[in-house]
Chains A and B, each alone.
Chain A
Amino acid sequence: MRAGFRDSEHLVRLALLFGVGVLLFLGARAVLVPADFGELGHFRTGALDDNRRRPVVHAGRAACAECHDTAAALAGGAHAKVGCEACHGALAAHAADPDAAAPPELEAKGLCVRCHGFNPARPASHPQVDPEAHAEGASCTDCHEAHSPAA
């Protein structure tokens, strides 16, 4: 008779099965979990670079100023702190290659009214007009200088 207590071979079989399960788990884990998982926290470190890799679409006003002398036009005006792309649209493609992508033509009235049309929810200190009564069909730029509106 073998050593140990009665029916001990059941326990041995169970232990072997358990051991195989643990090995399978460790093997699967080594294959499935990326090497850089858990370096900086409970995530894949490479995900930071994945998020960084998206292309930039808005160039930023510093890029505009490299070619366009915007400082003089905007100086002292009410629009001095407004970013170029707030009105002119996303232009990183134009900044990368000025010949390849031209900035779109702007439609002054709709553009101005987006910010300056009257809306009671706007702060009272923000200049607003009722576009119909104010302009009587004229274009905003007939009277106002878009880059440096005095009033």
Chain B
Amino acid sequence: MSVDRRQFLADATKFLLLTGAAGQAWAFVAEGRPQDAPDYDIARHWWAMFIDIEKCIGCGRCVEACKIENDVPDEPFYFRTWVERYYIPARDVTSPRAEDHPKVDSPDGGRHGFPDIYPKEDGSKSFFVPKLCNHCAHSPCVQVCPVGATFESPDGVVLVDKDYCIGCRYCVQACPYGCRFIDPRTNTVDKCSLCYHRITKGLTTACCEVCPTGARQLGDLRNPADPIHELLRTHKVQVLKPNMATGSKVYYNGLDASVR
């Protein structure tokens, strides 16, 4: 195999650049600040999530893990992710437009599980639906922010700039999924960041990490080797409120028409 001058120079440059980047990254790791290592290429990722309702057992591990991982206020009305239980009584299951009146509860976001409060009758229908920010590609919350404090990142995550947020709450009203809240400690908005501090380091989100049944799976739509492509191909998926054209990237398998 012969290597001409042009090829040699190209290879040598690539080698030098790559070892340079790795060396730079290692310097940060050695200093105990791996999060600052510049080895994450933002242009090569497009994050999404696959949620299999048929696998969710409503254990609430995801809610607990999210609260701990992201330092979400402890009170039972601040959540970055939560689990809802839908219950449709037997008389409604087969009635026309049964989906209009489901009973929905989410005690403490499902963090401590769900008490068995419904009658054990045959014929009723109930299931769990985990919810989180849908990381819309065309987010209503981003459109209404007057100061550019919330934005769709180039890798497909809707993030908040806490230094820029003025706490005006427009985005809280604009989100059709109810995924935002005002952090009482800072008076700025807070929401699911898809564990941006984890996924940019090669880890999965905290909720996906602890989900015992694999009902939640983080996926990178720009990585052809990611299993999410196969999951989306082999399942009949739907997003929440598709009629709102938000470009949601949280795909649900087994989504019932009653889920709002």
Contact = CB atoms under 8 A, between A and B. Distances in A.
A57 B68 contact: yes
Nearest to A118: B116
Interface in A60-93: 60-61, 79, 81-83, 85-86, 90
A83 B59 contact: no
A52 B69 contact: no
A29 interface: no
B210 A122 contact: no
Interface in B9-48: 35-36, 40, 42
A137 interface: no
Contact of A85 (B55, B65, B87): B65
Interface string A29-44: 0000000010011111
A114 B60 contact: yes
Contacts of A37: 148
A87 to B, nearest CB: 8
B120 A120 contact: yes
Interface in A1-46: 37, 40-44
Interface string B62-96: 00010011110000000000000111000000000
A123 B213 CA distance: 11
Provide the main secondary structure of the chain A interface: loop
* Chain B interface residue bracket vs A: 35 or more
* Chain A interface residue bracket vs B: 35 or more
Contact of A90 (B69, B148, B211): B69
B196 A51 contact: yes
Closest 7 CB pairs of A and B: A43-B151, A47-B161, A121-B126, A54-B197, A86-B210, A51-B196, A82-B212
29 contacts: A44-B164, A47-B164, A48-B42, A48-B153, A50-B163, A52-B40, A52-B201, A54-B71, A56-B198, A56-B203, A58-B68, A58-B203, A58-B206, A58-B210, A60-B203, A85-B65, A90-B68, A114-B59, A114-B60, A118-B116, A119-B58, A119-B116, A120-B118, A120-B126, A121-B85, A121-B114, A121-B126, A122-B128, A123-B54
Given A48-B196, A58-B206, 20 more contacts: A42-B151, A43-B151, A47-B163, A48-B42, A51-B193, A53-B36, A54-B196, A57-B69, A57-B206, A85-B209, A86-B212, A90-B69, A114-B113, A115-B59, A121-B85, A121-B126, A122-B57, A123-B55, A123-B57, A126-B213
